[in-house]
Structure formats: C-alpha cells, structure tokens
Amino acid sequence: MKILITGVAGFIGAHCAHRLLSAGHEIVGIDNFNNYYSVQLKKDRINWIATQSGDLKLHSQDIGNKEQTLEIFSNFRPDYVIHLAAQAGVRYSIENPDAYLESNLKGFLNILEACRAFPVKHLIYASSSSVYGANQSTPYDIDDGVNHPLSLYAATKKANELMAHSYSHLYKIPCTGLRFFTVYGPWGRPDMSPFLFTDAIQSGKKLKLFNYGNHQRDFTYIDDIVESITRLLQHPPQTNPDWDAKKPAPSTSAAPWRILNIGGSQPIELLNYVALIERFMGKKAELELLPLQPGDVLATSAETKQLESLINFKPMVSIEKGLEHYTNWFKSYYL
C-alpha cells in the first residue's frame, strides 16, 4: 500500500511508520519538526525508523502550507492517509491558543482538501479522548455527548470530527476519527505523564500530582494503538443504511464516516500508576499533591466494543507490562 503519514516524527507517527515499513508498504512522511518538545527526540525517532525498518521518504514541511501539502499528494498519490500531525497538549492550549488554530484547524483543512483533490481509499485521523470533556459517565462510549470540551485542544479535536464529516458527506471521503486514550511507550512524548513522572522519580525532583493524585486515566500502550491502526486501514467506513436522521447516532453517518475509541480499558489512579513506576525505576517519588487544574478531566475510560467488533482485536498490553517496557527504554535512552 501507498500510505502517507503526517506527524511522522511524532510518537504515534514514528511507530506507525516503523510497523508499516517493516511490513513492506511504501511510506511518505510529513513533519515540521516544531519545538513544542525536543527536536532531537523527533530526529532520533526518524533515525530509529531508518535503521530498523527501511526507506522512509520524509518531507520536512508544515501541513499548514496548503500548496506544499497538495504538491506532496500530487507527487505521491497515496492510497491511504494516517493524519497524526497536530499541536498537542491540554495545558499548552491555555497558554498558546493560536498554535492550535494554525495546526489543528487550518492544517487539517489542508489535509481534507488534499484528499478531495487526490481521492484516497481511507483517511484515518487522530481525535482525542479529551473531546468527552465535562461528561463524567464512564466508560466513555462513542455515542456519548461531546459538546462540552474543557480546553481549546479538545475543542479543535471535536472540530476535526465535524470537518471530516462535512467532507465525507460532500465528497465521499471515507474518514475514521480515532479518540486516543493517553498513549504511552518507548519514544513517548516528554510532555506526557509517563515521562514527567519517570523523569521526576529518576532525578529526585518533586512530582506534581494534580487533584491530589486522584485522577484516573485509561493508559494505552503504543503497540496496541499501532496494531489497531494497521488493521483499520483496510476497513474504511461505509455509509450506514440504518442511520436515522430523526434519531442520529453521533458515531456513524449516512456518509462514509465514523468515530472509534482506542483505549486500554484499564483505568488506574495516578497514585497507583506512580507506585508502579517507582517499582520499575527502583526509586521512591517525592510527591507534591496539588488541587485540580483548569481543563483537567477527572477520569477517562474507553468503551471499545465497536473497535473490537470491526477489527477483531482488543488492546491487550497490561499497564504493568507496558510500564516495564517504557521504563526500560527510558533508562536506555536518557540515562
């Protein structure tokens, strides 16, 4: 298959490229290597792909540039697109809102326009569990309401789902939006809790836990994410003949469009999560327990029965095994 991956130097993008190149597919990757976090980590991911997987055709460009994005599509003519490029981070969106409009909205529009100009068999794009926002009914189901986001980041991801639906309806682009639940593993992002917690424990710094450590998070190991995406590629959504416009199901449509959760379905309190990292790092954490922060969600948990039914796969890596893999990689890379 000819597959284009945006955000290919990112955490999930690099793992997808590694897996798909290893399987013999032709991959073109796009990344702008911005400095939201370590550019060196992004370059090291690309080097890891090159040494482990094969020939990645890399474009160091920004999807916010419509002309360059269209040119890449025109030259490569991908069959499939995995769109993972975005400005990430809940708290960062409070401090730097403009970055989210440029990347998450304008950049995604350019990808949709490119898929319209050069039709693809399936566009898979990253949404987020953050879209569930103020909804506190767990586990989160894909047909739950998502109209009360608690951060601009979440609002842009909800907007992506709506934008994809409009293009799917107008131009019959098969689109699948994936609501990721706290992805972690080797080569993970340094702004995410697995790194922040592990680094604080290793270096003896105070580990800040908001909501006094009582948050619950549904962590998902990277291999489960990549396996799910790989299987989904050849399962593009079809129009739903049973979709009722008078009682519209939020996760499917009369257009070839759908939403799916991808989560480990093993929510864990952050205090217990820290205890596991302490065990694997062989060090105790110095905790600083703090109140709830603006934009934070109290608990996340994924209902994944629709995903499991579609691809005959359920995320299966336990939090214990996943953290053991992650901390072993952390030691090899950072220490």
Give SS3 for 37: coil
Among residues 272, 266, 276, the alpha carbon closest in space to that of 301 is found at 266
Backbone angles phi, psi at 191, to 5 degrees: -95, 0
Sign, CA torsion 231/237/243/245: positive
Q: For residue 171, how far is the Cα from the chain centroid?
A: 25
DSSP lists the bridge partners of residue 217 as 268
Q: What tokens appear for 164 in the block?
A: 């994809």
Sign, CA torsion 129/198/32/9: negative
DSSP lists the bridge partners of residue 269 as 216
Give me the amino acid identity at 204: G
| Cβ-based burial of 216 (10 A; exposed 0-12, middle 13-18, buried ≥19) | middle
> What's the distance, Cα to Cα, between the start and end of the chain in Å?
38
Buried b (16+ CB within 10 A) or exposed e, 173-211: bbbbbbbbbbbbbbbbbeebbbbebbebbbeeeebebbb
Catalytic (active site) residue 153: yes
| Token pair 């070839």: residue | 256
- Extended strands (E) in 181-241: 183-184, 206-209, 216-217, 220-221
Q: Among 92, 153, 184, 221, which one carries the catalytic annotation?
A: 153
Indicate left, alpha or beta for 93 from its phi (over 0: left) and psi (-120 to 50: alpha).
alpha
DSSP lists the bridge partners of residue 63 as none
- The residues annotated as belonging to the active site are 153
